[in-house]
Amino acid sequence: MVGDPCLYVIDRLTVLFDELHVKTERYNLHEHKRQISSLPATMKDADGVILASTVEWYGIGGYMTQFLDACWLYGDKEKIRSVCMFPIVMSTTYGEREGLHTLNMAWETLGGVTCEGLCGYVSDTASFELNKEYLKLIEKKGENLYRTISQKMPFLPVSSYSMKQNVSAAAPIPLTPQETEQLSKYVADEEYVKTQKEDIKELASQFKSMLSGGTESGDDPLIAKFKGAFKPQKNLDASYKFVIDGVKNPLIMRIKNDTLAIEYGNIERPAVLCKTKQEVMDDITGGRMTFQRAFMSGSMQVKGDFNMLRMLDTVFEFK
């Protein structure tokens, strides 16, 4: 922010437009970085737009790129076609002309028209701001922009829009401008996006479990191992709940004498609650570890009746 030559240019143009009684509205993208997706909607009532960026090491800033992406995804293309864009790119290192070209090409690809922009290299901000010739040049560019928009000067057609319509591989979003604008607001809502990501993660986990053979049903390999190793015990009435990392639902087990009921689900007050990892459960069901040893080594966290925990090694004989 300190010593950014682009800010000086914007400030001088704002003063000029105020003198010409032009209403301006400014958005500092770093201040609206969480709402960039919804910013294209702010151009609905605009006759012109100024896109300004400073090249600090290579290319235009990342927030500007995000804004242009948002215009492509959520912007009203018909409105953009009628908005004249004036690019400003100042550089403190190298590449101001390349940055100007990037903004022009991006806006033309969106279907809009561009004015002759302003770009320059600034090595010393102080001397740049004190140079009256530079100030005259900036104001001259601003006056040209004002005349271009106020007099509705025509522009020659460019090939970018036609080529985009003919060869663009990306299918357009089949939404109205109003629906697209609403979608951009959802994208800018962090809580909404967070909820969607969690839902997607949960669905991905379910599909991953299905593809790996674990359907969390009665045919689940883990359930089959428990049923195959079950050795009924008289006078035993207990309930167990296993919370396994990577498995969506807990494994619930109810044992009563010679009856074993086992399924994925939930139970409020089990006699024994066990929390462990999938690898530890594989070692137990593979006969390489006992429930008691897993608990004593800290591989399994247990809460409840420890006598019932010890009975697990008697009730199940894994080989």
Higher pLDDT pick, 164 / 301: 301
Domain 221-315 has CATH 3.30.1050.10: yes
Q: How confident is the model at residue 21 (pLDDT cuts 50, 70, 90)?
A: very high
Q: Tell me the pLDDT tens digit for each residue of 165-215.
A: 554 545 555 667 677 777 777 777 777 777 878 778 777 766 665 554 444
310 pLDDT more than 70: yes
pLDDT digits (tens, 9 = 90+) for 177-188: 677 777 777 777
Q: Where are the domains of the chain?
A: 5-186, 221-315
If you average pLDDT over residues 46-70, what whole number do you get? Answer: 92
Q: Which fold has domain 5-186?
A: Rossmann fold (3.40.50)
163 pLDDT exceeds 70? no
pLDDT score of 277 more than 80: yes
DSSP string, the chain: -TT-HHHHHHHHHHHHHHHTT-------TTTSTTSGGGGGGGGTT-SEEEEEEEESSSSS-HHHHHHHHHHHHHS-HHHHHT-EEEEEEEESSS-HHHHHHHHHHHHHHTT-EE---EEEE-S-HHHHHH-HHHHHHHHHHHHHHHHHHHTT------HHHHHHHHH--SPPP---HHHHHHHHHHHH-HHHHHHHHHHHHHHHHHHHHHHTT--SSTT-HHHHHHHHHB---TT-EEEEEEEETT-SS-EEEEEETTEEEEEES--SS-SEEEEE-HHHHHHHHTTSS-HHHHHHTTSSEEEE-HHHHHHHHHHB---
Same-fold call for 5-186 versus 221-315: no
